[in-house]
Structure 1
Amino acid sequence: MPTRVLGNISLSNFVRGPAKYFDLGYNVAATAQRQGLMTEAASGVIRYDFAKVELLRVSAAYLPHNRHSARLLERLEFTGEGNPREL
């Protein structure tokens, strides 16, 4: 059975000390979108890091026109903190 990558999750900009947070990035292959795979994967990564690394915060950003990404972050219980300025 061939193996194929359906997406990936990246954790970057780890900040240790009192702040304890990281930035979450992700992408999903077009053929695997809207199946709940990234919700499940990202949720597991976030739960693990909050429990094992004792994180206090996770941040993520998305392009305003990407409503699927916005919905994913809503399902993961992220809260909005601002929008970039129009250039």
Structure 2
Amino acid sequence: MNISRDEQRVLHALAQGGIIRHERAENGRVLRVFCFTRDGFVLSNCTLEIFQRLRRKRLIESRESSPYRISEKGRRAVRSQMNNR
């Protein structure tokens, strides 16, 4: 599967225990998203566009109105990252 660098970063943060919280408008559409790492920091490159692409590819999912987390398909799609030091 072809996944962009920013999508890969978001998936990697989610695979390590992060979540995506979202805000909805009155009509039910998602207005803003916030990707939190497992340490509680906000991932700045998680935009609404990236969120929608990940959701469309079914790499993230929400169960019972909980925050979005990585799906099983997303776990298989994420590549490991090397430490760049």
TM-score under structure 1 length normalisation: 0.25
Q: Which has the higher contact order (CA 8 A, sep 6+)?
A: 2
